[in-house]
Amino acid sequence: MVLTEAAELTQKGLLSLEHGHSFLAMTYLEQAMRYGKTPVVSSYLAYCHALNGRDLDESIALGREALQADPANPEFSLNLGRVLLLSGRKDEAITVFRQGLAYSLHPELIAHLEQLGTRKPPLFRSLPRSHFLNRFGGQLLNVLGFR
């Protein structure tokens, strides 16, 4: 009976999140977590926490824990990558999305990577990307149409 209640709360949480009700989903998933910590609940709860402005470091830890439990699940990579994007860690998010693609060609992972795009290499590779010459030179070549 306890397992069915937890599964029912998890389903309600996932359905709420699918319909864009992240706060309601977070409430359902937190209730499901009280019955037992599963990777599915941990992963989606981490994403809901990040969407609702909860502690991002805790959300990242929860997402990483779920991904370590089942690294072949692309949904866990997707959720952790989203949490990392919300926390401003774009490079880590791209890495997590790519790791998820190694197991499955999940369309949402591909869509996120396409949306983030790829960067062109810096003009002067011996200098950091943030160096004035790389930034200004890249912008100048882009305006001139050479890049």
The DSSP secondary structure of the chain, one letter per residue, reads: -HHHHHHHHHHHHHHHHHTT-HHHHHHHHHHHHHH---HHHHHHHHHHHHHTT--HHHHHHHHHHHHHH-TT-HHHHHHHHHHHHHTT-HHHHHHHHHHHHHH---HHHHHHHHHH--PPPPSSTTS-TTSHHHHHHHHHHHHHT--
- Angle value at C-alpha 92, between 89 and 97, nearest 5 degrees: 120
- Res 117: pLDDT: 80
- Res 126: pLDDT: 92
- Res 146: pLDDT: 83
Low-confidence ranges of the chain (pLDDT < 50): 1
Q: What is the CATH number of the domain that holds 79?
A: 1.25.40.10
- Residue 126 belongs to domain spanning: 120-147
64: tokens are 């990483």
- Res 36: pLDDT: 86
- Res 2: pLDDT: 61
Same domain for 104 and 132: no
- Res 22: pLDDT: 92
Same domain for 7 and 33: yes
Same domain for 107 and 82: yes
